[in-house]
Amino acid sequence: MSNGSGAPAARVEGLTKTYGAGEALVRALDGITLELGDGEFTAVMGPSGSGKSTLMHCCAALETYDSGAVFLGDQDLTGMKDKELTRLRRDQIGFVFQSFNLVPTLTAEENILLPLAIAGRKPDPEWYRSVIDTVELGDRLTHKPSELSGGQQQRVAVARALVSRPRIVFADEPTGNLDSHSGAEVLSLLRRSADEHGQTIVMVTHDPVAAAWTDRVVFLADGRVVDELRSPDREQVLEVMARASARPGEVA
């Protein structure tokens, strides 16, 4: 299940997105076409301004785009209203942000169950148990976020993203604020989710070490896919990054 066989979990076709106008026009996405395989753990990398965050936000129903299409499964997101997008986010997408992932007034457990609670659904007890076990929080489930370490908070965030069995989990620099040890814990958790539960995961990252945990790395520059690696290791990633970052230099 861990390789991209079968129908894709999501795919984008000719996606473009610009910000601003006139001289200040920025082409964040310049006709990207990409498939995200079902059950695959994909990293999106690229220098600042390459469009990787915009791509993720468009896929995650957080941002509208100018042209092209985004499909989640066989659903086209193009032209959906806020209400439908919200429902989509709630039921089919999981999120892990870089920081401030948790509602400070709720306990870890309440945070994990929040998307289900918002939808007014009960968790599947078996699935919930296995998610909790994977997260390895033990007795800290009843604690408020302020009483948890950064690594623990991110693991709660991952658990929350997983608990509603979304079609796809988006992680935006989930280890960006963590030390390497805590970061490894979070990445290993994501890795196991993909391996054990076949969870599709897309992660935006700067960190070659983090990218090395994934099945596939997609490199973006100037709003386009410029390279791709399968089953990468850290050195390969660094090499591609070196090439990618050299390119804008040549243009200038």
Partner 1 sequence: MFRAALRSLLGRKLRLLMSTFAIVLGVGFVAGTLIFSDTLSRSFTAIFASSVGDVVVRPEGGPVGEGGPSTVTIPATLTQDLAAVEGAARADGNVEAFGVFVIDADGKPIGGAGPPALAGNWTDAPAGNGLTSLVITEGREPEGPGEVVLDAKTAEKSGYDLGDDVSLVTAFQQAELSPTLVGTADFGDGGSLNGATLAIFETGAAQDLFLGGQDAFNSYWVTAADGVSQEVLRDRVAEVLPEGVEAVTGDEAADESASQLLTAISFITTFLLIFAAISLVVGSFLIVNTFSILVAQRSRELALLRALGASRRQVRRMVLIEATVVGLVGSTLGLGLGVLLFLGIRAAFGQFGLDISGTAMVFEPRTVLAAYAVGVVVTVLAAWVPARRTSRIAPVAALRDDVALPEDTLHRRFLVGLALVAAGAVGIGLALFGSVPRAGYVLGGGTLAVLLGVAAASPVLARPFLAGTSSGYARGFGAVGTLAGQNSRRNPRRTAATASALMIGLTLCVTMAIVGSSAKASVDAAVEENFVGDFVVSNVFGVPFSPSVADRIEEDVAGVDSVTRLRFGPVEVDGEREGLLGTDPASLAETAQIEMVEGSLAELDASSVVIAEDVAEDRGVGVGDRLEVQAIGGDSTFTVAGIFAENPVLSFPLVVTLEAFADAGFQPSDNFLFVDVAAGSDREAARAAMEDIVAGNTLVSVKDQEGLAEEQRGPIDQLLTLIYGLLALALVIAVLGIVNTLALSVIERTREIGLLRAIGLSRRQLRTMIRLESVVIAVLGALLGTGLGLVFGVVLMKDLESEGLEVIAVPWGQLAAFLVVSLLVGVLAAVFPARRAGRLDVLRAIATE
Binding residues for partner 1 (CB under 8 A): 57, 60, 62-63, 82-83, 86-87, 89-91, 94-95, 97, 99-106, 110, 114-115, 117-120, 160
Helix (H) or strand (E) holding 131: helix 125-135
Smaller CB separation from partner 1, 131 or 244: 131
CB of 250 to partner 1, least distance (A): 31
CB of 239 to partner 1, least distance (A): 31
221 beta partners: 224
Question: Which two tokens mark 15?
Answer: 């996606």
CB of 212 to partner 1, least distance (A): 27
Smaller CB separation from partner 1, 60 or 190: 60
72 beta partners: 10, 75
**Residue labelled with tokens 């970061």:** 183
- CA angle 207/177/39 to nearest 5° reads 55
CB of 249 to partner 1, least distance (A): 28
Smaller CB separation from partner 1, 97 or 127: 97
Smaller CB separation from partner 1, 15 or 229: 15
**Residue labelled with tokens 């990218």:** 211
Question: Which two tokens mark 197?
Answer: 């539960």
CB of 81 to partner 1, least distance (A): 11
Answer whether 81's CB lies under 8 Å from 28's CB: no
Smaller CB separation from partner 1, 52 or 57: 57
Answer whether 19's CB lies under 8 Å from 63's CB: no
